[in-house]
Amino acid sequence: MAVNKLALIRYKTIDDCLRNRFRKWTLEDLIEKVSGTLYELEGITTGVSKRTIQADIQLMRSDKLGYNAPIVVKDKRFYAYEDPAFSITKAPINNADVDKMKEIVGVLKQFNAFNYFDEMSDMIARLENNLYKSTKQSGNNIQLESNKLVKGLECIPSLYQAVLNKRSLLIEYKSFKAQQSQQGIYFPYLLKEYRNRWFLICKAKKRPGILNLALDRIVEFQELPNEEFFAHQGVDFDRYYEDLIGVTKNEKDRAQKVILEFTNDHAPYVVTKPLHSSQVILSKNDKTTTFRIDVVLNYELEREILGFGECVKVLSPRLLISKIKRRLELTFKQYESKEETDIK
C-alpha cells in the first residue's frame, strides 16, 4: 500500500500527540495539531477534515501499514495509546516488508563493492542477521557477476579513503610489461571498475596527464601526509569516461565515429545490449545491420569487437580497420603454425 508524504506527516503528528501523556487529546485537538503541522512543514492553509483524521486513526489501528496501534478512546472523548510505551516509530515491520528487505540484502551482498568496504560489509551483515534470526532463510533469487579471484580488491578500502580525503600516495607499481616494479608519488582522483577489474585513476607527480593503475598490479602503497595533494583541474570525471569503452584514455583523445556491420543473426544481441550509450542503427538489409557508436579508439574497444568474431565487420574508421585486420592476421597465423606442426 503506497503512502504519500502528507499522510506520513499526519500519522507522525498523531503519534507525537498520543505519546504525550501529560495532555488529553480530543478529536478536535488532533485536527488542530495536524493542521498546524501541515501549515508549518508544507504551507498548507486549508487544514484537515474530521473525516481524514478519523480515517487516519483507523488505518493506524489496522495492520495495513504494520502499525497495529493500540489507540483507545477514554471517557468516550479522549484518544490515547493503551500501551504508554507504544509508538509507530517503534512498531515492528510486517512480513511483507521483511521479505522485500531479504531480497534487497541478497542483492547487496553480491555487489563486489560491498565486500570491499569494511563498514558497509558490517552493516549488511548486521541487517541480514536481524532479518533472518526469526525467519527461515532461503537462497538468493538473483545472481550478479563477480570474480573473487581478482587480485587487488583488498586495496580498495584504503584507496577509497585516500581519494575521499585527497591524500597523496607513494605507490610501488609493476605493469605487465615491466621487469621490475617502480615507486612513485601519485595523486588519486577516482576508483573505477571495468569487467570486475578495478583501476585507480590518478596523476603521477613527475608525469603529465591522467593515468589508470590496475589494482592487481599495485605491489604496495602508503599515504604521504606531508606531501601536498594536487587536485586535477579541468576534468569532470563524471563525464570524462562517457565517450569510452573501458578505462584507457588520455586527455587529448576524442571520440570517433565507429561504423560496425553485424550479421542479422547476431544484431538483436547488439540492439538489446548496446556496445555504448551513443549506439544508433544506420541501416539494415537482408543479411546485415549497420551500427554507429561514437567512442575513443582504444584497446578495450578492439577487444570488444574481436569478441564478436565472424559476426562483425568494421567499416570505419580506417585506423581501426587496419588494427583489427592485423590482430586477426596474427590470430590466424597462430592456428596456421599449429596445423603445420601437427602435420609434421
Q: Give the model confidence (pLDDT) of 10-33 as tens digits.
A: 999 999 999 998 899 999 999 999
Half-sphere exposure of residue 214: CA atoms within 13 angstroms, side-chain side: 14
Contact 186, 203 (CB under 8 A): yes
d(CA 199, CA 5): 42
Tens digits of per-residue pLDDT, 125-154? 656 665 555 555 555 555 666 676 778 888
Q: Evaluate if pTM is beyond 0.75.
A: no
Query: What are the cell numbers at 300?
Result: 578495450
Tens digits of per-residue pLDDT, 187-225? 999 999 888 889 999 999 988 889 999 999 999 999 999
Class of domain 5-90: mainly alpha
Tens digits of per-residue pLDDT, 290-336? 999 999 999 999 999 999 999 999 999 999 999 999 999 999 998 88
d(CA 173, CA 331): 30
Domain ranges in the chain are 5-90, 95-132, 153-240, 256-339
Query: Comparing C-alpha atoms, which of 268, 265, 266, 243 is closest to residue 253?
Result: 243
Contacts of 258 (CB under 8 A, 6+ apart): 292, 293, 294, 295, 297, 301, 314, 316, 317, 320
Contact 313, 290 (CB under 8 A): no
CATH code reported for the domain at 153-240: 2.30.30
Tens digits of per-residue pLDDT, 33-73? 999 999 988 888 898 999 999 999 999 998 887 788 999 99
CATH code reported for the domain at 256-339: 3.30.70
